[in-house]
Amino acid sequence: LKIHSFLTALQGVSGIHRFLTDPADCWAYGVDNSKEHHLPDAVLFPTSAEAVQNIVQACATYQVPLTARGRGTGTPGGAVPIFGGVVLCFEYMNRIVKTYASDRVVIVEPGLLNGDLQKAVRQEGLFWAPDPSSQDYCTVGGNLAHNSAGPHALKYGTPRENTLGLVFVDGQGRLIKTGVQTSKGVVGYDLTRLLIGSEGTLGIIVEATLKLLPLPEKTITLQVFYRSIEDASMAIIRVLQSNIMPAALEMMDSGSLALIRQHQSLAMPQEACAMLLIELEGTSAGAQEAAEYLTPLLSGEGFSQLHKAETAAEKSALWAVRKALSPTLRQIAPNKINEDIVIPISEIPTFVHFVETLSHKHQLSIISFGHAGNGNLHVNILYDAENLSESKRATICLEAIFDKVLALRGTLSGEHGIGLLKKAFIGRELSQNTLDLMKSLKHTFDPHGILNPGKIFP
């Protein structure tokens, strides 16, 4: 009844491209990459900020839950409307509002795909640094809501470091503008960075002012093999203690290499048990110099082979292998728990040794790879959910991994966020006082509790 009155109230409101209410049409909008599902009562496609304001105001009046949705690639279930209500889809708010190329600033709507943004600004010799592997099919709005990033966060940062301002609609339907269009600014509280990573629970982002960077003149990719993951980890520490900051520094463990051997054609030495992918960017001379400087640092204990990729084809083949790893995991086990923990760089050797021991003890494959330069590892526990014993052991491993991460001064999520799946664990990292303050912020932004309810907090 509530939803019926809500939809009636919105009849005639301009700026809504489509309403879906038939369960068969709404079904696909109830699921995301978490594979959790809940059917929404309605799916709305706004085309303007004003329409979003009207929808939020109607949701507040009729107490209808509202879940924003980019393209549903998020992993912790953030876009799943667990209490039904409305899913607000940004497919038709995907314009580039204005580019100020000489100021290195672009203003965009939230439904713009990250990949489409990159293509557009590349013509001006610029790029937006956040580069999740899913960039061709995830939105800027989703990237901001999860603070999603990719390999190049190492040198250039995440959306938090690459977003100057936002326009968002709060839980009362008010339009709020935050931030600046300049490279510096400290007027009032930093609501931009508060909204980024808030997973659609504090406000609905309707516009973003993004900071762009100049495309590098030259990129060199180094592929380096080691005899053990500990040897590779020590090389990472040596590189990050040097004067050279790679644009990206990715690591793959022996399980990842076994997968690559099985499913992809990539030549690698037989003894290799770990691989680093290192990207160096700058002027032509600068990138070459950086590669020469790093080579002896990479060739320490356990070193097996170094290959320098310079042609575009060679480089994209290497990155294709790295990007294919996550989807390939689904081919070898029916289920995976995919975590994206972060630990201080100096603790990588201790952590990877811990995971190997855990994997042997519980007889489960645990495959780790990812943005090792940030200490951000995708730890994948592979198991069969239909096998009760395996499921139980997978949960034991997950709990042990989280405890170890926190004991090593790490954090439970580097880029995926908390959403639905990780909310039970948030209290392990944040104190009750911190959680209480966050909840009171949530209440201030969203007094009716309609924005993505049931997420983040246990």
- Min separation Cβ 17 and ligand FAD, Å: 15
- Rounded to whole angstroms, what are the CA distances from 2 to 22, 41, 64, 69, 269? 16, 10, 7, 22, 63
State which residue, 33 or 228, has the beta carbon closest to ligand FAD.
33
Are 367 and 253 within 8 A, CB to CB? yes
Give the footprint of ligand FAD on residues 99-118 (CB under 6 A): 110
- Min separation Cβ 360 and ligand FAD, Å: 28
Residue 279: beta bridge partners?
A: 221, 248
Mask: binding to ligand FAD, 336-375, rule CB under 6 A, as x and -? ----------------------------------------
- Min separation Cβ 204 and ligand FAD, Å: 5
- Rounded to whole angstroms, what are the CA distances from 58 to 21, 353, 450? 16, 53, 11
State the Cα–Cα distance between residues 38 and 29, nearest whole angstrom. 9
Q: Are strands 303-309 and 335-342 parallel, antiparallel or unpaired?
A: unpaired
State the Cα–Cα distance between residues 147 and 418, nearest whole angstrom. 11
Is 150 a binding residue for ligand FAD by CB under 6 A? The answer is yes
State which residue, 29 or 226, has the beta carbon closest to ligand FAD.
29
Residue of 134, 320, 131, 306 lying closest to 220 (CA atoms)? 306
Considering only 11-19, 143-151, 172-180, 273-281, which stretch makes contact with ligand FAD by CB under 6 A? 143-151
Mask: binding to ligand FAD, 22-51, rule CB under 6 A, as x and -? ----------xx------------------
Burial of 193 (0-12, 13-18, 19+ CB in 10 A): middle
Is 146 a binding residue for ligand FAD by CB under 6 A? The answer is yes
CA within 13 Å, CB half, 280: 24
Number of other residues whose CB lies within 10 A of the CB of residue 274: 27
State which residue, 96 or 244, has the beta carbon closest to ligand FAD.
96
- Min separation Cβ 294 and ligand FAD, Å: 24
Is 68 a binding residue for ligand FAD by CB under 6 A? The answer is yes
Determine the size of the site formed for ligand FAD (CB under 6 A): 37
State the Cα–Cα distance between residues 401 and 23, nearest whole angstrom. 39
Q: Which residues bind ligand FAD (CB under 6 A)?
A: 32-33, 67-75, 78-79, 90, 110, 132-134, 138-139, 141-143, 145-146, 148-150, 199-200, 204-205, 326-327, 415-416, 452
